[in-house]
Homo-oligomer: A and B are copies of this chain.
Amino acid sequence: MRADAQKNRQRLIEVTVELVMEIGGEPPRDAVAERAGLGIGTLYRHFPDQQSLLHAAVRHVLEKTISAGEDLVETVPDGVDVLRQYMHMALDSGIGVVNIIRPLLENRYWPDLLDRATALMKSIVGRAVQEGSVRSDLSERDIVFALIRFARPLPVGLPSSEERALAHRHLDFYIDGLCAPRGPPSQVIPN
C-alpha cells in the first residue's frame, strides 16, 4: 500500500472518531470525507461500506483506551484512583464512539479486544470494590454505561470546550457518589 494511501486511511479513521464524538451518532459519510480534506471517492475506496469505517473507528479507540487502562492498572497504587483516572481518560480518548455500535458485545468483530476489555473492567472494578472504597454493588456495566452517558454531547448547543469540561465535572460527581452511597440503596440490576 502506498504511503499516502496509508496516511489518508488513518486520517479518515481519526476524523470519524472526532465527528462521532461531536454529533453523538453516525456522521454522514461525505461529512467525514470533507472534514478529512479528501474526496468522497477516496473514502469509499478505503471503506466500501458504512460498517467497515465505523468498525475501524471503534477498534482504533478501543485499542488506545484499553492499552492506556492496562497501564493505569499497573502503575497507580490506589484502586479508586485507577477507576477515576481511567474514566476521565476514556472520555478524552473518544470512548464515546462505541455508542454507534448497536449490539455492544457483538463478539464476532473483535473477540480479542472484547476479552481484554472485559478483563480490564473486571480488574478495575474488582480492585476498587475489594478495597472497600466504592459501593459493593458496583458492576462493570455501571462503568461502561456511565462512560457512554457522559461521553455523549448534550443536545444543547454548548461550545465544545464547555461541553467537555461539564462532562468531566459531572463524571467526578458520579464517581464521588460511587465512593459514598447516601441515598436509598439502589435497586441492583443483575448482570
Point out residues on A near B: beta carbons under 8 Å: 24-25, 80, 84, 99-100, 102-104, 135, 142, 145-146, 148-150, 152, 154-157, 162, 165-166, 168-170, 172-184, 186-187, 189
Contacts and interface: CB of A to CB of B under 8 A. Distances in A.
A170 B142 contact: yes
Contact of A165 (B172, B176, B179, B187): B187
A172 B166 contact: no
Contacts of A183: 84, 172, 175-176
A189 B173 contact: no
Given A149-B170, A174-B174, A180-B179, A102 B186 contact: no
A143 to B, nearest CB: 11
